Amino acid sequence: MRMMSTTTPHGMNERAQVILKTLIDCFIRDGEPVGSRTIARESGLDLSPASIRNALLDLEEQGYLQSPHTSAGRVPTVRGYRVFVDSLLTVQPIDAAQLAMLERELVADEALTRQQVLDTASRLLSGITHMAGVVTLPRREQLGLRHIEFLPLSERQVLAVLVFDGQEVQNRIVRVDRSFTAAELQQVSNYLNSLFIGKGIAQVREALVEEMRRTRADMDALMRTAVELASVALEAPDEADYVIAGQSNLMDFKELSDIEKLRALFDAFTAKREMLRLLDQALEAQSAQIFIGEESGYRVLDDCSVVSAPYRVDGQVVGVLAVIGPTRMAYQRVIPIVDITARLLGSALNLSG
Amino acid sequence: MRMMSTTTPHGMNERAQVILKTLIDCFIRDGEPVGSRTIARESGLDLSPASIRNALLDLEEQGYLQSPHTSAGRVPTVRGYRVFVDSLLTVQPIDAAQLAMLERELVADEALTRQQVLDTASRLLSGITHMAGVVTLPRREQLGLRHIEFLPLSERQVLAVLVFDGQEVQNRIVRVDRSFTAAELQQVSNYLNSLFIGKGIAQVREALVEEMRRTRADMDALMRTAVELASVALEAPDEADYVIAGQSNLMDFKELSDIEKLRALFDAFTAKREMLRLLDQALEAQSAQIFIGEESGYRVLDDCSVVSAPYRVDGQVVGVLAVIGPTRMAYQRVIPIVDITARLLGSALNLSG
DNA sequence: TTTTGGCACTCTCTGGCGCTGAGTGCCAAA
DNA sequence: TTTGGCACTCAGCGCCAGAGAGTGCCAAAA
C-alpha cells in the first residue's frame, strides 16, 4: 500500500503522474509503444527500469495504459490521454514565426472577403499543425442585419440580397406569384430597411410577426407585400456549414493508414452532417474543447482527436474552428494554436465588417 | 509477313485488333494481367493459346501492350488504350434507371439554384460511375448581364450585385474613396442598367471604354462615378473554379492504392490550378475528350484517365464536366454517361435561368 | 518496505528457403 | 500458318529459425 504518498485529483501518486506524462510525451514524439527502459532514461526520476515496470503495471490496471501485445511497450488509452490533457500537459508557447504568420495573413490584410478569411483560417490551421483544419461558417442568427434589398430577377422570381454585420452577404431567390417592377421592390426594400436595420435575425422575425398583427386591418398592399417577401426571404433556416483544409495531411499518419477507415473519414468530411453535430457541441460549450478518440461518440473519429475553440464576433460566439488529427497529436502545441487562431479570426471578422 | 491480311487505321490486322480488344475488355473487367489462355477462351477466335501468344508478341513489340514481369499476363499501355477508345470500343447504351435518375434529379426539379444544379451534376457523375465527378463553374464571360445594382455597405465599401443569365448571381465588394448614399447608388445603378442590360461581359467592357471616351469632356460627376464603379466591379477576371464529388471513390481502386500518389492526387484536387488548366483544354476542344494516363501531361494523373464533355448554355459552351478515375476504367460505360450528363446539365441551366 | 538486478518467457519482425502455379518464348511437327 | 510440347521465369505463399525488444516475477540489496 502506498497510502502515504501524495495523492492527486486522479488518485494517482506523483510518481505515477510523472511516468504517465513521460510515456505520453514519448509516444506522441515517436509514435511507438514506450518501454520501461525509455521512461527510466527520460523521466528524470532516477529509477531502474524494473521499478518503472511496477508502476506501469499499476497504470495499466487502472486503465490509463495498454500494451498492444506482451512484448511491446505501452500505449496510452483514451483515459490516459484524458488526464494528460486535463492536468499533466504543459502548454507550449506558440512559435513566434507562426504567430506572426497568423497575424499577417488573417488580420493585417483588410481586403479579404469573409469567405477568404474563413478559408485562410482553416488553411493556416492545417498548415501549421500538419493536420486537418476546420472552420464553421458564422451563424447568421447571431449577426445584425445591416441591409435588405429586393431586385427583380424574372417574371416569377425576386432576388433578395441580405447584408449582415461581419462581411456577410447572402443572396436568396424568392419565387413569387406575380411580377414586380423595380420601383415597387425599391419601395419594399426601403420600408423594410427602416424597420429592421441593426436588428438580429431573431428580432427581425419577431418584428415581422408583430408588424403583421399590428397592421392587419389598415395594411396597404405595399406593406403586405413587403412583409410577405421578407418572411419568405428570412424563413429559410440558417444552414450550418464549414470549410476544411488539409484533409490529405491525415493520410500521412500511420495510425490512419487503414484505407477503409480513411475513406470513411473523408466521406464524413464531405457529408458534413455528423461533423456539424459534433462541432455544434463545441459551439454550445462556449470555450475550448477537446474530444479524444471515441469520446466524440462518432465512429469514424475513433482514432482521431478534435481540438476546438469557438470564435466571436461582437462578443457573441458565432462559430467554431477545430483541428482534427490522430489521437496521438502534439496537444501542447495544437491547443494554443487553435486558441489564438480563434481569437484572431474573431478580430479579422469584426474588423472587416 | 502478313501483308495480305486486311490492314486498318493502326496498321494492325483484324485479328490483332480483336485480340487487343478482348485483352483490354478482360483487363478492365478483372484488373489483372491477361494471359494467352484467357484470350483464346474469350475472343471467339478459335485459336490456340500458342497462336495468341505470337500475336501478343507482335502487339507488345508495337507498344500496345506490356508485361509487368516475365510470367505474368499482359497489360495495355497508354497507346493500347488509345486505339481502344478511338476505334475498338463499343459504347454501351446507358442504363435506363440511371438515365431516369439523371433526368429526375437534374432537370425535373426547377427549384434548384445554380450551385445546387452543379453540385447535383458532379454528385450524380461520381455516384453512377463510382469515380470522381467534376464540374467547372459556367464562365461568366459567356453569359449575358441581366442586372447590376450597387448598395452602400460601409463608409468605404460598396456592394455590387451582378445578375447574369442562367441563375448566376455574384456579389463583389468594391472599395471606394468616399462614401455614397443609397440614393446616389440607386441612380448609378439605373444609369448602368440602361446601358448594359442583355450584353455579355466583354461587350459591357467595350461599352464602358467607349462611354469613358465619348463623355470625357461633358461627363457629369454621377456618370463618371458610375463608369468607375462599374469598371472596378467588372474588372476582376472570371475566376475559374469547379466542384468535385466522390474523390474518396478513388481510394477503392487498387491501382491507386499507393498512399503517396493518392495524397498527391487529392492535393491537386484541392489546389485546383493545374486541374483547371487541364479542364480548360477540354473546354477549348468544344467536344467530348479523353485523356489517358500520361497524355494529360500532368504527373499526378499518370495513373488516371479523364473523360470530359463540355456543356452549353444558350448554345454557347460555358463549362465542362468530367469523370476522373484509374486508367483502367469502363470507358464504354463512362463515355455515354458523361455525354448525356453534359447535355442534361445544359438544359437544366437554361431552364432555370 | 522499496528498489533493483537477474532471468525466463513471450511476441513481433525479418530473411531465407522451397514449393506451386501461371504464363511465357521457342521449336519442331502438323 | 497453326499447334502441342517443353524448359524456363517469376510472384506469392507458407514455414521456420534467429534476433531483438520488452515483460513479469523473484530474490537479494538498500
Is residue A308 a contact partner of residue A282, using CB atoms and an 8 Å limit? yes
The model's pTM: 0.89
Instruction: State the helix-helix crossing angle for B331-352 and B114-129, rounded to 10 degrees.
Output: 170
- Does pLDDT of A1 surpass 50? no
In order, the DSSP letters of B21-87 are HHHHHHHHHH-SPBPHHHHHHHS-----HHHHHHHHHHHHHTTSEE-SSTTS-BEE-HHHHHHIIII
Closest CA to B353 of B171, B166, B182: B166
Nearest chain A residue to B152 by CA distance is A147
Higher pLDDT, A196 or B302: B302
Cell of residue B285, nine digits: 476542344
Q: What average pLDDT does the segment B262-286 reach?
A: 94
Give the cell for residue A16: 505515477
Task: Select from A298, A308, A303, A310 the least CA-distant residue to A345.
Answer: A310
Question: Looking at per-residue confidence, does B227 or B250 come out higher?
Answer: B250
The model's pLDDT over A184-208, given as tens digits with 9 standing for 90+, comes to 888 888 888 888 877 877 888 888 7
Specify whether the CB–CB gap between B323 and B341 falls below 8 A: no
pLDDT at A179 over 50: yes
- HSE at residue A94, side-chain half, CA atoms within 13 A, is 18
Quick check: helix, strand or coil at residue A240? coil
* Residues whose CB is less than 8 angstroms from the CB of residue A249 and which lie 6 or more positions away in sequence, other chains included: A126, A130, A131, A132, A325
Positions on chain D within 7 A of a protein C-beta: 1-5, 8-11, 20-26
User: Quick one: DSSP state of residue A113?
Assistant: -
What is the per-residue pLDDT across B112-141, written as a single tens digit (0 to 9) for each? 778 889 999 999 999 999 999 999 998 877
Alpha carbon of residue A98 to chain centroid: 20
At B336, which amino acid appears?
P
pLDDT score for A237: 66
What's the CA B21/C1' D1 distance, rounded, in angstroms?
A: 22
Q: Do A248 and B266 touch (CB under 8 A)?
A: yes
What pLDDT does residue A4 have?
Answer: 40
How are beta strands B289-292 and B304-313 bridged, if at all?
antiparallel
And the C-alpha cell for A323? 483541428
Place of cell 495480305: B4
- Residues B300 and B277: their CA atoms lie apart, in Å, by 14
Please give the residue that has the higher pLDDT: either B6 or A262: A262
Q: List, as one string, the DSSP characters of A67-98.
A: -SSTTS-BEE-HHHHHHIIIII--PPPPPHHH
Hunting for cell 490584410 — which residue is that? A109
Nearest to A246 by CA among A128, A86, A69, A96: A128
- Cα dist. A26→A37, A329, A334 in Å? 12, 11, 17
Q: Answer for the pair B137, B247: CB distance below 8 angstroms, yes or no.
A: no
Q: Do A153 and B163 touch (CB under 8 A)?
A: yes
CA of B40 to C1' of C7 (A): 66
Averaged pLDDT score across all residues of chain A: 88
Residue with grid cell 450597387, as numbered in its chain: B150
The phi-psi region of residue B154 (left if phi > 0; otherwise alpha if psi is between -120 and 50; otherwise beta) is beta
Identify residue B230 by its one-letter amino acid code: A
| Near-strand C residues (CB closer than 7 A) | A 1-2, 4, 46-48, 50-51, 54, 69-72; B 33-38, 49-50, 53, 56-57, 60, 67, 70-74
| CA distance to partner chain B, nearest, from residue A12 (Å) | 42
pLDDT tens digits, one per residue of A249-296:
999 998 888 888 999 999 999 999 999 999 999 998 878 999 999 999
How far: B72 CA to C20 C1' (Å)?
15
Task: Using the Cα atoms of residue B116, residue B121, residue B124 and residue B130 in order, give the sign of their dihedral.
Answer: negative
Q: How many A/B residue pairs have CB atoms within 8 Å? A: 68
Please tell me which residue of chain A has the smallest CA distance to B113: A173
> Looking up cell 488504350, which residue turns up?
B81
Nucleotide with smallest C1' distance to residue A35 CA: D22
Confidence of residue B215 (pLDDT cuts 50, 70, 90): low
What was the pLDDT predicted at B146? 82
Å from B121 to nearest chain A CA?
Answer: 16
Chain C bases near protein CB atoms (7 A cut-off): 2-6, 9-12, 21-27
Query: Measured between CA atoms, how close is A232 to chain B, in angstroms?
Result: 15
Nearest protein residue, CA measured to C1' of C23: B71
Give the closest residue to B135 by CA, choosing from B8, B269, B268.
B269
Residue count of chain B, please give it.
353
The answer to whether B112 and B348 have CB atoms below 8 angstroms apart is yes
Is residue A33 over pLDDT 90? yes
B176 vs B131, higher pLDDT? B131
Separation between the CA of A98 and the C1’ of C5 (whole angstroms): 48
Q: What percent of chain B has pLDDT over 70?
A: 93
- What percent of chain B is helix, strand and coil (3-state, nearest 5)? 55, 20, 25
| Residue B93 DSSP label | P
What is the DSSP code (8-state) at residue A142?
Answer: G
- B339 CB contacts (<8 Å, ≥6 apart)? B288, B309
Residue B177: the pLDDT is 84
End-to-end Cα separation, chain B, in angstroms: 63
User: CA-to-CA distance for A7 and A1, rounded, in angstroms?
Assistant: 12
Please classify residue A46 by burial: count the beta carbons closer than 10 Å to its beta carbon, then call 0-12 exposed, 13-18 middle and 19+ buried.
exposed
Count CB atoms within 10 A of the CB of residue B235. Answer: 10
Rounded to whole angstroms, what are the CA distances from B174 to A12, A112, A287, A322, B157? 61, 11, 35, 31, 6
Q: Is the pLDDT of residue B168 over 80?
A: no
Within chain B, residue ranges assigned H as helices are 14-30, 36-42, 49-61, 78-83, 96-102, 114-129, 182-196, 201-214, 221-235, 259-271, 273-285, 331-352
Q: How far is the CA of B37 from the C1' of C27 (A)?
A: 20
| Gap between the terminal Cα atoms of chain A | 63
Q: How far apart are CA A161 and CA A115, in angstroms?
A: 17
Instruction: Look over chain B and give the mean of its residue pLDDT values, rounded to a whole number.
Output: 88
Owner of C-alpha cell 461633358: B218
CB atoms within 10 A of CB B209: 12
Rounded Cα–Cα distance for residues A179 and A151 (Å): 11
Per-residue confidence (pLDDT) for residue B225, from 0 to 100: 80
pLDDT for the residue A10: 65
Instruction: Mean pLDDT check: name the lowest of A58-72, A151-165, B329-343.
Output: A151-165
Is the confidence at residue A65, as pLDDT, over 70? yes
pLDDT for the residue numbered B100: 96
Q: Measured between CB atoms, does B113 come within 8 Å of chain A?
A: yes
Is A222 touching B (CB cutoff 8 A)?
Answer: no
For the segment B282-292, the average pLDDT, to the nearest whole number, is 91
Neighbours of B267 (CB within 10 A): 15
Tell me if B151 and A149 make a contact (CB, 8 A cut-off): yes
Q: How high is the pLDDT of residue B218?
A: 57
State the residue for C-alpha cell 521499478: A51
Dist. CA B33–CA A129, nearest whole Å = 42
- Tens of pLDDT, residues A312-353: 988 889 999 999 999 999 999 999 999 999 999 999 987 765
Backbone angles phi, psi at A133, to 5 degrees: -110, 135
The C-alpha cell at A9 is: 485529483
Q: How far apart are CA B290 and CA B278, in angstroms?
A: 11
Question: Per-residue pLDDT averaged across B2-15, rounded?
Answer: 61
Which pLDDT value is given to residue A172? 84
* C-alpha cell read off for A58: 499499476
pLDDT at residue B1 tops 70: no
